[in-house]
């Protein structure tokens, strides 16, 4: 459940933590949060950890200009409250510290169960925007301190590629309303890369590998600040014929990776997770992501930690990711169900919300789910289902009435992440649970389904521009009364929801 910053006042010993190898957005977010707490009489610590201290030129200049009191720590006694910004507690890019209570403020995709005190707005371009909005909700004007407003402006600028990737109204609000100090932004823009880092990038790009078959590029750099990997990735993605890319560097503790995508067929955060699966972790945005393959995990798995082995492994994983995945556009034609089995739904209570209760018909809304975002045009015909595991998905009224019967019992949400809907026009966030009612699944015509033995990306009829990923063990399902309606059901949800007809 989202919290207000004022709720932090009950804690005395507060530590703000950003992710390892912090970027400008992480530093700005933690800095502004520490500023707010100081206004309220709380002297919080602001820390980061990891293998490397900050050494990127623009970040060092940022710390100097705004007098950011951020500490690099390896050990720390457990505080009353540990608040992670621009990251989620437990992720691979966040050094673990114990604490009595955990809170999260972030703008990346939800990757795990969130603590009770959480604000995660995955469609925002920066965590700085989330902090700006939380401060505004408390009646705090960031322009009261030019250093704070300039830092948040710079955090948004850097995390949205100089505002090129801004799409959400909240990001535009910060961009337009922040009273930034122009010469400080100019100074930071002109300190983004050092001479040595420029040489590193140039040398690396000269050795770039390209796959014409799968339209990706790969670049290795010599050890450098991990943020330089992102700069090189952005440059590589601008090459004609490159739709996705990987940039990596080998440290003595692990392999840092940066990935990018400019095609709807590939989510960068998903590709980063795939490349690091089993050896570390990865994540980020649909178009930009990164990760770490840990040396000790690779060696335990029998992978030799030498340059040639790592290079071959990453090259093969990139090929595997692009090659070994079926892509399906639902709604184009009837699915061949000759190899499917027939299932019907068990008698299970779930929830539903009529879309017309959320916004006026004709408005576009984004349904925020753990599996991703789905954009839907509000219509009296649209029903939003809250499934057995808290999963959220839309369907039309005719299919709803065939598949569910209404119940007078109150609806109790079973998940850990209360779903919200975002009005795409106004940016308003609307909680679904207060609007939800109960319904019970009918056996009905059921579905035809088969267990997956490979990866598949399905562009559903509801959102043809974004796919849902199914992996080995999940189920590919087809409505029995509509063989064009094809979708993915996660393995654990399927087991609880369906039985053979």
Question: Using CA atoms, how far apart are residues 227 and 213, in angstroms rounded to an integer?
Answer: 29
Average pLDDT, integer, range 236-262: 93
pLDDT at 105: 97
pLDDT at 417: 62
Q: In sequence order, what are the beta bridge partners of 475?
A: 451, 489
Q: List Cβ neighbours of 430 (8 Å cut-off, separation of 6 or more).
A: 358, 359, 365, 420, 421, 422, 423
pLDDT at 401 over 80: yes
* Choice among 258-267, 331-340, 369-378, 401-410 with the minimum mean pLDDT: 369-378
Q: Rounded mean pLDDT of the chain?
A: 90
SS3 77: coil
Place 369 in a pLDDT band, splitting at 50, 70 and 90: low
Please indicate, yes or no, whether the overall pTM of this predicted structure exceeds 0.85.
no
pLDDT at 142 over 90: yes
pLDDT one-digit tens code per residue, 187-217 = 998 887 888 888 999 999 999 999 999 999 9
Token output for 344: 């019907």
pLDDT at 167: 62
* Choice among 134-143, 351-360, 368-377, 471-480 with the minimum mean pLDDT: 368-377
For residue 493, count other CB atoms closer than 10 A to its CB: 17
Average pLDDT, integer, range 291-319: 93
pLDDT one-digit tens code per residue, 16-27 = 999 998 999 999
pLDDT at 55: 86
Could you say which DSSP state residue 274 is in?
H
Question: Using CA atoms, how far apart are residues 27 and 159, in angstroms rounded to an integer?
Answer: 12
pLDDT at 117 over 80: yes
pLDDT one-digit tens code per residue, 406-422 = 999 999 998 766 777 87
CA dihedral 431, 434, 435, 438 (to 10 degrees): 120
Place of tokens 């990596």: 248
Place 365 in a pLDDT band, splitting at 50, 70 and 90: confident
pLDDT at 462: 76
Write down all domains in the chain, each with its CATH number in brackets: 5-189 (3.90.1640.10), 195-323 (3.10.310.30), 341-500 (no CATH)
pLDDT one-digit tens code per residue, 440-480 = 988 777 899 999 999 999 998 877 888 889 999 999 999 99
Q: List Cβ neighbours of 199 (8 Å cut-off, separation of 6 or more).
A: none
């Amino acid at each position: 459940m989202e919290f207000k910053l004022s709720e932090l006042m009950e804690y005395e010993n507060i530590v703000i933590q950003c992710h390892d190898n912090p970027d400008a957005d992480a530093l700005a977010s933690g800095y502004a949060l520490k500023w707010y707490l100081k206004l309220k009489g709380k002297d919080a610590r602001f820390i980061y950890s990891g293998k490397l201290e900050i050494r990127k030129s623009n970040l060092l200049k940022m710390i100097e200009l705004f007098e950011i009191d951020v500490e690099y720590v390896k050990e720390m006694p457990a505080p009353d409250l540990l608040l992670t910004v621009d990251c989620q507690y437990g992720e691979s890019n966040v050094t673990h510290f114990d604490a009595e209570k955990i809170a999260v403020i972030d703008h990346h995709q939800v990757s795990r169960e969130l603590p009770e005190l959480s604000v995660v707005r995955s469609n925002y371009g920066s965590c700085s925007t989330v902090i700006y909005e939380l401060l505004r909700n408390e009646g705090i004007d960031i322009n009261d301190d030019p250093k704070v407003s300039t830092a948040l402006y710079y955090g948004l600028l850097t995390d949205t590629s100089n505002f090129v990737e801004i799409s959400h109204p909240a990001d535009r609000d910060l961009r337009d309303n922040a009273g930034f100090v122009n010469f400080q932004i100019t100074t930071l823009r002109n300190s983004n890369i050092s001479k040595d880092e420029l040489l590193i990038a140039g040398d690396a790009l000269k050795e770039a590998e390209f796959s014409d078959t799968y339209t990706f590029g790969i670049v290795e750099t010599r050890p450098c600040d991990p943020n330089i990997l992102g700069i090189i990735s952005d440059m590589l993605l601008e090459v004609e014929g490159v739709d996705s890319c990987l940039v990596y560097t080998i440290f003595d503790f692990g392999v840092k990776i940066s990935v990018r995508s400019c095609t709807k067929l590939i989510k960068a955060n998903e590709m980063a997770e795939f490349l690091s699966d089993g050896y570390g972790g990865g994540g980020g945005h649909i178009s930009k992501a990164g990760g770490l393959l840990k040396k000790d995990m690779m060696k335990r798995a029998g992978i030799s930690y030498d340059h040639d082995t790592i290079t071959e492994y990453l090259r093969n994983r990139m090929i595997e990711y692009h090659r070994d995945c079926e892509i399906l556009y639902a709604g184009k034609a009837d699915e061949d169900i000759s190899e499917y089995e027939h299932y019907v739904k068990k008698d299970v209570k779930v929830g539903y919300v009529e879309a017309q209760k959320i916004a006026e018909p004709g408005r576009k809304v984004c349904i925020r789910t753990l599996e991703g975002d789905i954009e839907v045009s509000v219509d009296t015909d649209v029903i939003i289902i809250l499934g057995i595991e808290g999963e959220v998905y839309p369907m039309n009224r005719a299919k709803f009435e065939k598949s569910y019967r209404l119940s007078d019992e109150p609806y109790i949400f079973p998940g850990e992440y209360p779903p919200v809907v975002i009005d795409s026009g106004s940016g308003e966030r609307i909680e679904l649970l207060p609007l939800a009612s109960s319904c019970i699944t009918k056996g009905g015509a059921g579905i035809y389904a088969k267990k997956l033995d490979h990866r598949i990306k399905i562009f559903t009829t509801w959102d043809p521009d974004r796919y849902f990923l199914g992996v080995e063990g999940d189920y590919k399902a087809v409505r029995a009364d509509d063989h064009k309606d094809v979708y993915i059901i996660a393995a654990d949800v399927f087991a609880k929801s369906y039985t053979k007809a």
